[in-house]
């Protein structure tokens, strides 16, 4: 395969590593799980290769995406370009010994024992047909895994064996996990944390990002307390070395700017489980962001959403949902960065919930301050 060099993608270093990743990565969940539409192997491989031709070098898989399918697709698409790409994957869901059918994105049993982490990593290496994984993430860890030394020993040993270049965690599956994220950053100091974050859903991503600057700690982080952290406008360098991979960059497609009040999702699409109010209120919110897509800027809303994330220096890469070649082109075009005034205006809008009155969100994981021992 001959690589085309007409793209405008920029690259960032993952702190304290030799890995350099494209600011826009490719999350393989869209082409391997069936939750965002059906892709044949041929279609998926073709889209992955087109991403590579556009300059994308970061590909984020998980062993449980399609029960190994995402890794197999990546190997098929870019196996010959192994040294030109950065492979990220995840382990933690035991689909080998439990029902792996995740209809409606339901979770299956997890196993974070040292034995299982090493077993699952070997299986990932086999499917990827490689001798190393650049970024290994523990998939949707809970507070118990952050606390358990054996979990982190497993990752350290795999790195020492040369099977992993670096490691960290992915928080989820839904939005939340504030204490897990902050505690992990400050106590375990992983090279990578992947979490949900976007202009419409800044909590608790702001708190997790702020923890790298020492602005919040597990003992005092709250919904409102961010110290003097300001997304994209920090003049100081982070105190800690965790870099972030960001998913749900467009708030489940809302920030792509393509929805209307009449939009209907297919039954197998994960968005079909959301209430109608999510769609209606979301459309009201994005209307307030029109200033980001002025004719002078030349940006689409989808591009502005990524540029907002990339204004923050702790963000190494973004992982938008990519369904087709048009999106690949849109998300990898060179557009002007958001100004400080634009970033501040987004902050102000978020503080007032974009002028929309709605019920408080429900968050997963540990979201309340722990009582003093």
CATH number, domain of 250, equals 3.20.20.100
- Which segments of the chain are extended strands (E)? 11-13, 20-22, 26-27, 58-60, 86-91, 133-139, 164-170, 192-196, 243-247, 315-319
Furthest C-alpha separation in the chain: 60
Residue 2, domain member (yes or no): no
Residue 239 CB-density burial (10 A; 0-12 exposed, 13-18 middle, 19+ buried):
exposed
The answer as to whether 3 is a domain residue is: no
Tell me how many domains the chain contains: 1
Per-residue tokens: 218:
């597990």
pLDDT at 3 over 60: no
The boundaries of the domain holding residue 44 are 11-354
Q: Among residues of the chain, what percentage have pLDDT more than 70?
A: 92
| Residue 364 domain flag | no
pLDDT band with cut points at 50, 70 and 90 for residue 360 = confident
Domain-located, residue 361: no
The pTM for the full model equals 0.94
List of residues 6+ apart from 329 with CB closer than 8 A = 54
More confident residue, 100 or 87: 87
Would you say residue 6 lies in a domain?
Answer: no
**Structural domain contains residue 371:** no
Helix axes 325-332, 301-310, angle to 10 degrees: 50
The predicted model gives 250-265 an average pLDDT of 95
Distance CA 183, CA 168 (A): 13
In contact, 271 and 255? CB cutoff 8 Å: no
Least confident of 26-35, 92-101, 166-175, 282-291: 92-101
Judged by DSSP in three states, 48 sits in helix
Residue 282: what pLDDT?
97
Q: How far is CA 188 from CA 169, 185, 287, 296, 370, in A?
A: 10, 6, 40, 44, 19
């Amino acid at each position: 395969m001959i690589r085309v060099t007409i793209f405008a993608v920029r690259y960032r270093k993952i702190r304290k590593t030799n890995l350099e990743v494209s600011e826009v990565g490719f999350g393989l969940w869209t082409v391997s799980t069936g939750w965002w539409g059906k892709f044949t192997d041929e279609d998926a491989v073709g889209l992955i290769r087109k991403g590579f031709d556009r300059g994308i070098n970061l590909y984020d898989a998980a062993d449980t995406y399609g029960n190994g399918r995402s890794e197999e697709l990546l190997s098929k698409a870019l196996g010959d370009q192994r040294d030109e790409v950065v492979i990220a994957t995840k382990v933690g869901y035991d689909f080998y010994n439990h029902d792996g059918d995740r209809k409606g994105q339901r979770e299956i049993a997890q196993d974070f024992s040292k034995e299982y982490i090493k077993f699952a990593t070997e299986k990932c290496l086999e499917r990827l047909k490689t001798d190393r994984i650049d970024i290994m993430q523990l998939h949707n860890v809970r507070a118990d895994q952050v606390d358990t030394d054996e979990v982190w020993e497993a990752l350290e040993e795999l790195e020492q064996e040369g099977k992993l270049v670096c490691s960290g965690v992915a928080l989820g599956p839904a939005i939340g996990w504030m204490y897990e994220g902050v505690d992990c950053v400050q106590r375990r100091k992983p090279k990578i944390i992947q979490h949900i974050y976007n202009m419409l859903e800044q909590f608790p991503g702001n708190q997790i990002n702020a923890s790298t600057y020492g602005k919040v700690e597990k003992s005092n982080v709250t919904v409102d307390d961010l110290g003097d952290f300001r997304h994209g406008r920090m003049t100081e360098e982070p105190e800690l070395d965790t870099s972030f991979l960001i998913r749900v960059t467009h708030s489940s497609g809302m920030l792509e700017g393509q929805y209307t009040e009449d939009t209907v999702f297919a039954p197998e699409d994960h968005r079909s489980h959301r209430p109608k109010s999510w769609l209606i209120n979301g459309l009201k919110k994005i209307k307030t962001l029109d200033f980001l897509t002025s004719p002078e800027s030349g940006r689409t809303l989808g591009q502005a959403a990524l540029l907002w994330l990339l204004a923050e220096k702790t963000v190494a890469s973004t992982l938008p949902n990519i369904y087709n070649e048009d999106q690949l082109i849109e998300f990898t075009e060179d557009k002007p960065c958001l100004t400080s005034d634009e970033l501040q205006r987004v902050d102000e809008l978020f503080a007032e919930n974009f002028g929309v009155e709605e019920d408080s969100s429900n968050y997963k994981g540990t979201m309340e301050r722990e009582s003093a021992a």
